[in-house]
Amino acid sequence: NAGVTQTPKFQVLKTGQSMTLQCAQDMNHEYMSWYRQDPGMGLRLIHYSVGAGITDQGEVPNGYNVSRSTTEDFPLRLLSAAPSQTSVYFCASSYSRQANSPLHFGNGTRLTVT
Amino acid sequence: KQEVTQIPAALSVPEGENLVLNCSFTDSAIYNLQWFRQDPGKGLTSLLLIQSSQREQTSGRLNASLDKSSGRSTLYIAASQPGDSATYLCAALPLYSSNTGKLIFGQGTTLQVKP
C-alpha cells in the first residue's frame, strides 16, 4: 500500500520561480489537505479539499494554489516563490472530515527558496 | 481559539521504562484528539485517535486517554524501546473546524529511549 505519496522530496528554488508539489493517495480518501511545518510554528493548514472539484483555503493560503481534478491527486502550486515559503510541506488525507477518520501523512517535501 | 500544548519539549528515558507524554488543550469542544509519531525527515504517522465520546484507546504498548473536562490527554508507552525514539505530536480537531477539518497541533515532545 503506497498511502500518501509526495514528490519531490527535496527542492531548491530561486525567488520568483514557480513549481508544483505533487501529492497522490491510493486510499480513496475524500479529504485531502496541505500543511507546512516550520520550527517554532508547528503545523499550519494551507489548503484543503473535501472532494474532487472542491477546494478551500486554510490558515495560510497566500502564495499557494491548489486544484482537485481527481479524488487521488491534490497538487500544490507555488506561484512566485519567496524565501518565507522555505519550509517542509506535508500532504495529508483522510476518509472524511468526521470524528473517526485519522489523518494519513506523506513523507513531506523539503523546500528551500533562495 | 483552541491551543494545544505539550510539555516537556524533550524527554530521555532508559530502555524498559514506562512513560507518559502529556497534551493539554484549552477548549473542550473537540471532535477528537489524535496522537502522531514523527521520525526525523519523515511524515507523521497516526498512532491513536480518541473520539470526543471516548475515554481511551489502546494499540499494542500504547494507550491514550482523554479527559475533556480537564483539557488533558496522555499517551502512555509501556516498556519503552530504542525504536520508540521519535517526536510525538498530539492534535485536536475542534468543533469549529467541522468544515475545514483543520487540526490544531501541539509542538511535540521529542523522546529518546537509551539502550
The residue length of chain B stands at 115
Quick check: A97 contacting B, CB < 8 Å?
yes
Quick check: A61 contacting B, CB < 8 Å?
no
Calculate the dihedral angle through the C-alpha atoms of A51, A57, A60, A65, rounding to the nearest 10 degrees: 80
Q: What is the pLDDT of residue B62?
A: 98
- pLDDT digit string (tens) for A49-67? 999 999 999 989 999 999 9
Q: Taking a contact as any Cβ pair under 8 Å apart, which residues of chain B between 76 and 95 contact chain A?
A: 89, 91, 93
A104-108, B87-91, B97-101, B103-107, range with the lowest pLDDT: B97-101
Assign A87 to helix, strand or coil.
strand
Instruction: State the Cα–Cα distance between residues B96 and B28, nearest whole angstrom.
Output: 11
Nearest CA in chain A to B107: A42
- pLDDT digit string (tens) for B23-64? 999 999 999 999 999 999 899 999 999 999 999 999 999 999
Mutate to test the interface with B, among A34, A59, A97 (most CBs of B within 10 A): A97
Instruction: State the Cα–Cα distance between residues B74 and B20, nearest whole angstrom.
Output: 6
With beta carbons under 8 A apart, name residues in chain A contacting B46: 102-105
Tell me the β-bridge partners of A4: A25
pLDDT at A100 over 80: no
pLDDT at A8 over 70: yes
Contact B103 A42 (CB under 8 A): no
